[in-house]
Amino acid sequence: MKHILTALAFSILPAPALAHPHVFIDAGIAFIFNDAGQLSAIQVQWAYDDFYTMVQLDDMGLDGDGDGIITVKEQEKLVGFDTQWLDGFEGDLAVIFADEKLTLGPPTSATAELSDGRLLTSHIRHLETPLDMANGSIALRAFDPTYYSAYTLDLGAEVLNRDSCMMEQIPADLGKAYDLVENLLYGSNSNAENDYPAVGEHFADTLTLSCEPSS
């Protein structure tokens, strides 16, 4: 993840230290269809790990007593903290249809709250062009290319405003992914001191979505 605050932390770490993730995020997905039966937007939920939550709250000067409870005003300050993205950041989300990556707009409708010691946020990404799903299926992956952040899809997925759709979550081949990291970091052609390889996608589960034609 490369919103502004995480990017600063990322920039000071040496490449070998990035062989394993430092932020852990449970993600949830909602596919939003318009009244014409087209996929028009994707809602993304992120639940950050306890340690990242603690660091983020401290950085923002929130929950000073560390009791896991914040005021209404503090709550308002949280909204949008992770949607201030650097130029070129794609939101750690790739959505593929017919072998082409779909163009998603910037994050909108941001929410944020502190619950059970974890930061929970959401935002919506609108498709540049609403998509007719009749002739194919979507493949979605949530991942940080650098693998600084590790995503799961443990918050689940749902379809809004459309019936007769099927989803499947295909687990990543973690053994193969770790072998790739070892080879790229420490193999004979390694250039890890200068450029950490973009391996995050290999650790990502794939969520597929297909829908029957609208009646």
CA distance linking residue 105 with residue 85, whole number of Å: 12
The rounded percent of the chain whose pLDDT value lies above 70 is 86
Q: What is the pLDDT of residues 4-30, one digit of tens each?
A: 444 444 444 444 444 579 999 999 999
CA distance linking residue 69 with residue 153, whole number of Å: 26
Q: Where in the chain are the domains?
A: 4-211
The rounded percent of the chain whose pLDDT value lies above 90 is 67
Q: Which residues of 18-32 are buried (b: 16+ CB within 10 A; e: fewer)?
A: bbebbbebbbbbbbb
Q: What is the pLDDT of residue 11?
A: 42
Q: What average pLDDT does the segment 182-195 reach?
A: 65
Using 50, 70 and 90 to split pLDDT, how confident is the model at 1? low
Q: What is the pLDDT of residue 16?
A: 44
Using 50, 70 and 90 to split pLDDT, how confident is the model at 190? low
Q: What is the pLDDT of residues 50-89, one digit of tens each?
A: 999 999 999 999 988 877 788 888 888 999 999 999 999 9
* Rounded alpha-carbon distances, angstroms, from residue 53 to 115, 117, 149: 10, 7, 13
Q: What is the pLDDT of residue 19?
A: 54
Contact between residue 120 and residue 56 where contact means Cβ atoms under 8 Å apart: no
Question: Full-prediction pTM beyond 0.75?
Answer: yes
CA distance linking residue 115 with residue 48, whole number of Å: 10
Q: What are phi and psi of 185, to 5 degrees?
A: -80, -40
CA distance linking residue 44 with residue 42, whole number of Å: 6
Most confident of 26-40, 129-143, 180-194: 26-40
Q: What is the pLDDT of residue 27?
A: 98
Residue 100: pLDDT above 80? Answer: yes
Using 50, 70 and 90 to split pLDDT, how confident is the model at 109? very high
For residue 26, the Cα-to-chain-centroid distance in whole angstroms is 8
Comparison of pLDDT for 185 and 98, the residue scoring more = 98
Residue in the block written with tokens 């950085």 = 59
Least confident among 10-24, 60-74, 140-154, 184-198: 10-24
